[in-house]
A = this chain, B = another copy of it.
Amino acid sequence: MNICLNMFNDELNNLINMKNTLHPFVLIVDDEEDICEIIKFNLESEGFKVDTAYSAEEALRKQLTKYHLFIFDIMMKGMSGYRLADEVRNKKKLKTPVVFLTAKNTENDKLTGFSLGADDYITKPFSVRELIARVKAIMRRPGHQDTEEPVRLKIAGLELDQEKKRLFIEGDKIDLTPHEFYIMMLFLNHTGKVFTREEILNYAWKDNINVLDRTVDVHITRLRKKLRNYGKYIISRSGHGYCFEIE
């Protein structure tokens, strides 16, 4: 009955996620160097490549096209994160997603952030885990996914259509909920591999901060039902976790 947070469980998750994304390159811009370091370390532990700048001006001197995601602090000495985002979006014509980071959390600020095309908006205090979960969620969105990933995963009579977000069993359409879908994606991409509940949560949940690991069990039960006679191939390995394996 553990809440599923463990600092050491991310290594595997890393491998899993990084298979589905190209090596994501993140630029963090914050004038508080320690904050940069903390985020940098944590994202790197998750397999991201990270660059930092301690001011908007410094950021603008970089070759910005090479990044896949920006994390901007709003309140910075000199040019603010808002203006930096504006520069990047409008003058440099980049569509790179931006996550804003700030202590301010009024509605006005949020609206300003989104009008600039922020992809997410994280207010301090925030947990490192939350940030990482959100960044991963963004990277998982269409357009940031690994292009060489097959759209359809076929195994025996099962077919997971990643565009339709749907499962076909012997041709029958089976709608999956988001979590169910990602769990299946994890399983079908690595059949036979045993995943701990933590790994499953890390992969299939955008934000697993407040979710018990036993929740996974319930989703497994629901999935098994939906999978009909394939349900039995979701195998539980007591003490290890779950895996999907035919035969």
Contacts and interface: CB of A to CB of B under 8 A. Distances in A.
Interface stretch (A19-27, A60-68, A79-87, A217-225): A79-87
A126 B134 contact: no
A226 interface: no
A163 B193 contact: yes
Task: Give the number of copies in the complex.
Answer: 2
Interface string A176-202: 011001000000001011100000000
Given A34-B110, A117-B127, 11 more contacts: A7-B134, A8-B137, A32-B110, A34-B80, A35-B114, A38-B114, A119-B129, A163-B192, A163-B194, A164-B192, A178-B240
Contacts of A40: 82, 86
A108 B3 CA distance: 28
A32 B112 CA distance: 11
A42 B86 contact: no
Interface residues of A, number: 70
Nearest to A191: B164
A115 B126 CA distance: 6
Given A163-B192, A164-B192, A11 B120 contact: no
A237 to B, nearest CB: 6
A165 B32 CA distance: 44
A239 to B, nearest CB: 4
B127 A116 contact: yes
A91 interface: no
Nearest to A194: B165
Contacts of A7: 99, 117, 119-121, 134
Interface in A137-161: 137-138, 141, 143-144
A5 B117 CA distance: 9
Given A34-B80, A237-B165, A114 B124 contact: yes
A8 B163 contact: no
